[in-house]
Amino acid sequence: MKRTLSLFGIMFVVWGSMLLLLATVLTFVARIALDSSFAMRALGGILKVIIAAFLAILWLWGWWKLTLAYYKRSSRLLQRHQLS
């Protein structure tokens, strides 16, 4: 059950950070307004997409590193258990 709860811990972190990320992107990034001219609006749109994509990649990277850290820790525990 401990392992299931550890994996739930990862899921909980992913859930919380996903909601925060969505809130950040939709509340702050989506409201970037540069100017009323077409060129500046287009630039603002591109900027929004770049910031949102950067945040999403950062989130996925963090998620992957968290999983790897969990896997390495668990494998070490198994090896220690097998050695003893």
Partner 1 sequence: MAYYSMMLEVLPALLAFLLCLLLTPLLADFMRKHGITGLDVHKPPPKPVVPEMCGIAMVISLLCSLGLSAFLFPQYSDIFVAIALSTVIVALIGLVDDLYCLNPIFKACLPALGGIPILLLSAYSPRPYLPFVGRARLTYIYPFIIPVAIAVTSNATNMYDVLNGSMPGSMGITCFFLAICSILLGRIEGLIIFLCLSASFFGFYHYNRYPASAFSGDVGSLGMGAAFGAAVITTRLDIIGVVAFMPYIMNGFWILTSVKGLRERREIRHRPVVFQDGFLIDSANPHAPITLVRLLVCESPLTESEVVKRMMVLSALAGLLAILTTFLILA
Q: Which residues bind partner 1 (CB under 8 A)?
A: 1, 3-4, 7-8, 10-12, 14-15, 18-19, 22-23, 26-27, 60, 63-64, 67-68, 70-71, 74-75, 77-78, 81
Instruction: Considering the complex, state which of residue 54 and residue 61 has its C-beta at the smaller distance from partner 1.
Output: 61
How does 6-41 read in b/e, with b if 16+ C-beta sit within 10 Å? eeeeeeeebeeeeeebeeebeeebeeeeeeeeeeee
Nearest distance from C-beta of residue 62 to partner 1, angstroms: 12
| Least distance CB 74 / partner 1 (angstroms) | 4
Q: Are 34 and 41 in contact (CB under 8 A)?
A: yes
